[in-house]
Chain A
Amino acid sequence: MDELMEILQELRPDVDFENETALITDGVLDSFDIVALVGELNDAFDIEIKPNNLVPDNFNSAKAMMALIEQLQDE
């Protein structure tokens, strides 16, 4: 979780990732942020996020992202 937080903070220092729960639904992160984020996450966690993982539910909060990462690591 710490590693994820670090990546997120570096990507968008202006966003409160601890408490935000509608990052996608409210348009806090746009498609450009997402692509940059996917590249970082793939590298850091040795996973492969695919376009079909890009649903708001997976990226609306840091917690949801962590869940996705764990799910992909299991596969």
Chain B
Amino acid sequence: MIFNITYTSLNFIFFVLATMLVYFLFPVKKYRWTVLLAASMFFYAVAGYKFAAFILFTTLSTYLIGLWIDRVSKNSKKLLKNKKGEWDREQKKNYKNKIKIQKRLIMTLALLLNFGILAFLKYYNFFAGSLNGVLGSFGIHFSAPTLELFLPLGISFYTFQSMGYIVDVYREKTEAQKNPLKLLLFVSFFPQIVQGPISIYDQLANQLFEGHDFDFTRMKHGMELILWGFFKKLVIADRAVIAINTVTASYDSYNTFGGTTLTFTILLYAVQLYADFSGGIDISRGVAQIFGIDMIDNFKRPYFSKSINEYWRRWHISLGGWLKNYLFYPIAMSNVFLNASKKMKNTRFGKTAAGAHVSKVLPTSVASLIVFLVVGVWHGASWKYVAFGLWNGVIIMLSILLQPLFDGAVDKLKIKRTNPLFVLFQMVRTFLVVLVGYVFDVAPSFKQGLKTIALFFTDQSVSRGIAEINTLGLRYRDYLVVLIGTVIVFVASVIQERHADTDVRTLLDKKPFILRFLLLYFGLMIVLVFGIYGSGYNAADFVYMQF
């Protein structure tokens, strides 16, 4: 990085202000999108200049292949129209099939090229290492070299987003973009390039290309969202992560901690991960909103979910939506899966009540398991992430398969599904399942993950825990800040949960001016005073620079 332009840096704020100024002053509305493109190129050049070639390659291959698929679709339609009356049904069907296969091949080319790059950069070393290990255990001393590979900034996100576009063109849900620069903006739009959300072309693209006028309410709401994001990220997440990093610093150091400290760390991680990721997304969405662009939300208070299934619809929503559209449906609705379900239905087992249910949900449950395996592997090249994915996948699979059993039990026990205590029980249960998944995220290895879970039950000691927690690099005061911050986020989440239709910022607009002013003023002060700004930038410095 030439200079620091991460979303929480002062440079980034200046960069957004400058882009805003140029964007809204740009005289030709029709071409305002070029300002966003220039800004995105500048951002990428500064933040990840070494790897610009990768994103340009993805854009170019996506652009060309998109046009190619589009042309095949359109030409075939024209031909079918011309042959109307001339061809019989059979001939038409054969031709349609031929075109489908051709289009599918072209699409596969795009997927292989782009996911190939992602997979190579992300997993080469893992496979080389595993291969060497396996061969070594057979006494073969071959060593595939491990390479020093770096991941280009945002590669997962822009690859997913552009491949979603390719599939949409293939499915004729959207027309191919004819202007390569417009496509480049869609792929590289700076608020989303670092960590998403992964947008769908139809939802985002036109918003990017149409010129927006300055709008005070939008700007105010955008800034409030950014401030909220800064609060979650700088005050809570960046503080909590210091303690987590101390625990996970190395295999050896991780082993020295007792069960109480590890329990505490996993809980802290749940707070940190949500604050960090959702805070970052708030900043991204806030910035986009100032420019008049609504990006889809990535989080819907996921820790309030009543089942793991629901949790994954409320956590990292854009990735979930992507996987649902482009992976889950194609697998679950493939002939193989639907036929397997049909076949099972006709067996003797399939005729029983349990069998009928199992054969009906078979495609869904197996497809879910595959999707979660992919989610796990996407998190990182390591067995512990495979475990993380499988844990979630298996729970979902079992919950689908055993649904009638649970329903029966609830009915038998005469529990009302709307009973607040029952709802609370469901939420707590779901959160615990999520925490077990997090263990494999936090523990340095799969084995240590298993050991950690055992320690939860066998090694709880408050006095040892308190002694250890004091050595994690945070003072008592810091833990208090994290706790109060978490309570504030919790209260805001409950308010939002109760007003599903309007966002909290719109609710806030109806409050007296003085209250809003004080709230924002203190919010800003809290971020400035209690934010963690890394070494070399302490909060005092930052506050001073404001004068």
> Contact residues of A with B, CB < 8 Å?
30-32, 34-36, 38-39, 42-43, 49-52, 54-55
Contacts and interface: CB of A to CB of B under 8 A. Distances in A.
B342 A43 contact: yes
Interface of B: 171-173, 309, 313, 324-325, 328-330, 332-333, 338, 341-342, 360-361, 363-364, 367, 400
A66 B128 CA distance: 53
A32 B364 contact: yes
Given A32-B361, A39-B342, 15 more contacts: A30-B313, A31-B328, A31-B329, A32-B309, A35-B329, A36-B361, A39-B338, A39-B341, A39-B363, A42-B338, A50-B333, A51-B329, A51-B333, A52-B172, A55-B173
B338 A54 contact: no
Which secondary structure dominates chain A's binding surface?
helix
Contact of B360 (A31, A36, A51, A55): A36
Contacts of B400: 32
Contact of A54 (B329, B341, B342, B364): B329
B325 A51 contact: yes
Contact of B333 (A30, A32, A35, A43): A35
23 contacts: A30-B309, A30-B313, A31-B324, A32-B361, A34-B329, A35-B332, A35-B333, A35-B363, A35-B364, A35-B367, A36-B360, A36-B361, A39-B341, A39-B360, A42-B338, A43-B342, A51-B325, A51-B330, A52-B171, A52-B172, A54-B325, A54-B329, A55-B173
Contacts of A43: 342
Nearest to B324: A31
A54 B173 CA distance: 10
Contacts of A38: 333, 338
Contacts of A51: 171, 325, 329-330, 333
Q: Which of A30, A32, A42, A55 has the most C-beta atoms of chain B within 10 angstroms of its own C-beta?
A: A32
Contacts of B364: 31-32, 35-36
A49 B367 CA distance: 17
Nearest to B339: A39
A43 B329 CA distance: 17
**5 A-B pairs closest in CB distance:** A52-B171, A51-B329, A35-B332, A32-B364, A35-B364
B220 to A, nearest CB: 28
A67 to B, nearest CB: 18
Contacts of A54: 325, 329
A52 B338 contact: no
Nearest to A52: B171
Contacts of B333: 35, 38, 49-51
A30 B305 CA distance: 15
A52 B364 CA distance: 18
Contacts of B173: 52, 55
Contacts of A52: 171-173
Contacts of B367: 35
